[in-house]
Structure 1
Amino acid sequence: MTPLRLGYLYGFVAYLLWGFFPLYLRLMRPAGPLEILAHRIVWSVVFVALLLAAMRNVGFLRALLRRPRALAGIGVAAALIAVNWGTYIYGVTSDRVVETALGYFINPLVVVLLGVTVLRERLRPTQWVALGIGGLAVAVLTVDYGRLPYLALVLAFSFAGYGLAKKQLGLPAAEGLFVESAVLALPALAYVGWLAAAGEGTFGQVSVGHTLLLVSAGAATAIPLLLFAGAANRLPLTGLGMIQYLAPILQLGCGVLIFHEPMPPARIAGFALVWAALIVFTVDAVRNSRRTRAATLAARRAEAVAAPR
């Protein structure tokens, strides 16, 4: 199998797992959102630590401890992913899967917005059009819900901010997830211990299957991230961008078709505007990528012609 096809396979499986993640989270009931989050953090540390030990790749920690700015960045990334995970778990367990899917639909637009506001990037006119349509979609959905779709916005901004922090840190997927989870592990363990002491925890109290589901949260968190990293290393950005919509499409399907969440006409209109914005955004990204590739190829040919023989 070629690296490109392997990249698409990794990406497809990663987004497929993320897309059906609401089904997995629902199985964890009667555990509450904070308990699920705490176990997800703790068992992620355990799973990735075992993986790194098997790979004999633990020396990176010594080098990382000598980089205080990187440690501060890891703290920011850890806080953002904790907010993202906690919000998503709360949304799924409180029967708002459709709104969580909206968050990941608008995430690419928020990434562009952060590029303008944080990195001072200049947008192309078509990107401004996509952002404008996205803003109109949020307005329509606000009218429909009778409030801002705050779950979706928190998910979109926290994940976009996490991606920005990760890009600046430049850590590999397994190492990054281990350190971020380790930062959160102590408060997560303390919360699990408090639940157990108060007799309010469900770990080991409901059934063997329920306990195994909580333990497997570490693998369920790490495996899609590692697959995504493998895809990102093999695919062009446009290819990765095209398949990223698979997860929210599947999440939306879970919310509407399996959990039977309502989709009134105004909500459908809001989602239609989001999809229109994403189409504009994606078409612009593909065209710009092709122009950049063509310009690079032309420059290389010109250099080859001009080189002395």
Structure 2
Amino acid sequence: MPATYASHRHAGLIMAITAYTIWGVMPLYLLLVRWVPAYEFIAWRVICTIPVCLFFLLTLRQFAALGSAVRNRRVLALLALSALLVAINWTIYVAAVQSGQVLAASLGYYINPLANVFAGTLFLGERLTRGQWIAVALAALGVSLLAWDAREMLWISLSLAVTFCAYGLVRKLAPVESLPGLTIETLILLVPALLTVWWYAQGPQGIAMGRDAGSSALLAFSGAMTGIPLLLFAAAARRMDYSTLGMTQFFAPTIVFVLGVTVFGEPLRPSQLACFVMIWCAIAVFVWDILMRSRSAQQAPA
């Protein structure tokens, strides 16, 4: 059992890092589709995610699991809540990137891991070691420096952090696997998405899809960019301690942070550099503590 549990968590860690890496490079993709209004882009994102979910359902033969989840009222209620939370999160994130607030988006996902750690301890009964609390304190101090220096856009960051923390918590509590859960979430959002596309179609510019082959392909790719990392994240959330999942999330905002400075040309202030250094020190402490505990567990008698 200990070996099985360890391999379960190891698989979850790989899934989480992969998902966060994809989310980290998301601003580059959003740069390519910045001509699409934020609300319309979110609508197409929902619509294009459905074929991705159906493909994986067919490939992995999980239609039975989907049917079981649909018949469970508690699962449906939780997934309706998680669908609302992720839709709000998507909209704020896309609008922030399109308006040039990339570092504000990065800060939101720097705050989110701390929210995950506290959510894990408050709602899930998870316990941190002394070394992990030191790591959390270092990260909190670094994020506080960055937040103080970015007070005018802090509402963006806090909104992103709270909505995604709540989304992950709901998905961890919902007794449904990642693929059926994402499929139901997407289907719940489908009607608002179709109404949004219809509303934009009435305007003078028309809808974004179908203008030319290249633009349509880029827009359709949003389904893969949405579905794959969310599937990986939901699967990781069910396999890992929520606190550990939160600390691994620093991968995504760090990539976004670097892109904001290098690609998007946002100025790098001393407080941002200090935050960057302190957070990576915190990650080093957190990982070191996990490795030490894992080594001790392996050396202990069966």
Report TM bin, short chain. Answer: 0.7 to 0.9
**For the structure 1 residues 282 and 37, does the alpha-carbon distance in structure 2 shift closer, same or farther, using more than 3 Å as the test?**
same
Q: Cα RMSD between the aligned structures?
A: 3.4
Indicate which of 112, 117, 122 corresponds to 2:122. 117
1:62 to 2:67 alignment: yes
Q: Distance in 2 between matches of 1:70 and 1:10?
A: 23
Residue 208 in 1 paired to residue 232 in 2?
Answer: no
In the alignment, which residue of structure 1 is the partner of 2:24? 19
Q: State the partner residue of 2:258.
A: 253
Query: Mind listing any 5+ residue stretches in structure 2 that lack a counterpart?
Result: 1-6
Paired amino acid for 1:175 = P
1: CA distance, partners of 2:157 / 2:167: 15
Q: Which moved more, 1:266-275 or 1:236-245?
A: 236-245
Report the alpha carbon displacement of residue 210 of structure 1 after superposing the two structures with TM: 1.6
Question: 2:133 & 2:15 partners in 1: Cα distance?
Answer: 32
Instruction: Report what 2:173 is aligned to.
Output: 168
Asked if 1:282 corresponds to 2:287, the answer is yes
Deviations, residues 148-205 of structure 1 (Å, cap 9, x unaligned):
6333332222222222111111422221211111111111111111111233544146
Contact 1:109 1:130 in 2 (8 A): no
Q: Matches of 1:150 and 1:283 in 2, distance apart?
A: 33
Aligned to 1:76: 81
- Name the residue aligned to 1:134: 139
What letter is aligned with 2:96? G
The residue type equivalent to 2:32 in the other structure is L
- Residue range with higher mean Cα deviation, 224-233 or 170-179: 224-233
Write the distance in 1 (CA, Å) between the matches of 2:184 and 2:132: 35
* Aligned equivalent of 2:161: 156
Greater alpha carbon shift after TM alignment, 211-220 vs 179-188: 211-220
CA contact (8 A) 1:39 1:188 kept: yes
Structure 1 length-normalised TM = 0.80
> 45-54 or 116-125, which moves further after superposition?
116-125
CA distance 1:187–1:104, shift in 2 (3 Å): same
Q: 1:91 to 1:168 in 2, by over 3 A?
A: same
Counterpart amino acid of residue 203 in structure 1: A
CA distance in 1, matches of 2:235, 2:125: 29
Shift of 1:61: 3.3
C-alpha distance 227-123 of structure 1, shift in aligned 2 (>3 A) = closer
* Aligned partner (choices 244, 254, 265) of residue 270 of structure 2: 265
Instruction: Supply the AA of the counterpart residue of 1:178.
Output: T
Name the SS of the counterpart of 1:261 in structure 2: coil
**Structure 2 length-normalised TM:** 0.81
1:13 to 1:118, Cα distance in 2 relative to 1, 3 A: closer
Asked if the contact 1:88/1:155 (under 8 Å) is kept, the reply is yes
1:242 CA displacement = 8.0
Structure 1: distance between partners of 2:15 and 2:139 = 29
Q: What's the CA shift string for 1:98-151, capped at 9, x where partnerless?
A: 232233334332211112333354443334433333333343223312336333
Q: Secondary structure at the match of 2:152?
A: coil
Aligned to 1:305: none
Do the aligned partners of 2:57 and 2:63 also contact (CA within 8 Å) in 1? yes
1:9–1:273 distance in 2 versus 1, CA, 3 Å: closer
Task: For 1:192 and 1:93, locate their aligned partners in 2 and report how far apart those are by CA, in whole Å.
Answer: 19
- Asked if the contact 2:22/2:229 (under 8 Å) is kept, the reply is yes
* % identical aligned pairs: 36
Question: Any unmatched runs of 5+ in structure 1?
Answer: 301-309
Instruction: Verify the 8 A CA contact 2:182 2:231 in the aligned structure 1.
Output: no
Superposition pairs of residues 76-95 of structure 1, within 5 angstroms: 76-95=81-100
With 217-226 and 159-168 compared, the bigger mean Cα shift is at 217-226
Report how far residue 262 of structure 1 moved: 1.2
Q: Distance in 1 between matches of 2:174 and 2:235?
A: 18
How far, CA to CA, are the matches of 2:244 and 2:157 in structure 1? 25
Distance change >3 Å, CA 23–CA 77, structure 1 → 2: same
Tell me the secondary structure at the aligned position of residue 63 of structure 2.
Answer: coil
Indicate if the aligned counterparts of 2:53 and 2:179 stay in contact, CA closer than 8 A: yes
Corresponding pairs, count: 295
Match of 2:112 among 107, 114, 135: 107
Query: Hey, what does 1:222 align to over in structure 2?
Result: 227
Q: Post-superposition shift, 1:37? A: 1.0
